[in-house]
Chain A
């Protein structure tokens, strides 16, 4: 079994990426490829659901950092939800929790996206 898995689906107009397992520098290319695919398909409301993510390094966090500006310039956002305490703490160690929107669960995150005014 792969130590890191990623799948995605559209939920009410939001591209949800489900991350599972151990996301380190060895696995990060698959995460970036899927995130870029979402953006290239003009999905700018992106939710990263980390319910089953048990480990992340700066490699994974760096991918989010590298694309967030482009997504926000297009009127969207990258939000994160359902993180374990351990993974949330890793984001907190680099100060991401002050810059990104961390939401308790997927439903609440989807609802927050729906309050974003439609793009012109």
Chain B
């Protein structure tokens, strides 16, 4: 069953952090640990934690403009079929264009940002941003592949 019904209605684990980049490493290590608990191989767990790093970094830098006292809530839903992670935050709504990332064009424009969402979409099976009544959510799902 590979749809949202595969996951429990309430998160198995959640954490609320302040919008500070110094906390990213802790979030990465926590996510890797939870993904491993969810039976993902270490290599997959490391990639999932990288995707979460990118998502939370985007929130801190773009939605909260590096304000250090805002809150970010991260929820983890574990299921035999996979892992669902939801990141809740307020601030500026995400600006996720459907434009395909073109590295050559970004180099010519001397851009330093814009790779994070590509990484997230490459690593995870689903990345969905929603915004309701001022609360934004980035939901990411990684399904377990059958051995």
CB within 8 Å of B: which residues of A? Answer: 3, 22, 24-26, 55, 57-59, 61-63, 65-70, 86, 90, 93-96, 99
Contacts and interface: CB of A to CB of B under 8 A. Distances in A.
A96 B115 CA distance: 11
A99 B46 contact: no
Contacts, number: 77
Q: Is the interface of A mostly helix, strand, loop or mixed?
A: helix
Contacts of A22: 25
Interface string B26-44: 0010000000000000010
Which 4 residue pairs across A and B have the least CB separation, nearest first? A58-B115, A26-B21, A66-B112, A62-B112
Interface of B: 21-22, 24-25, 28, 43, 46-47, 50, 53-54, 57, 60-61, 101, 103-104, 106-108, 110-116, 118-119, 122-123
Given A66-B112, A99-B104, 8 more contacts: A25-B53, A25-B60, A59-B116, A61-B115, A62-B112, A69-B107, A93-B119, A94-B119
A96 B111 contact: no
A93 B43 CA distance: 14
A99 B104 CA distance: 8
Contacts of B106: 65
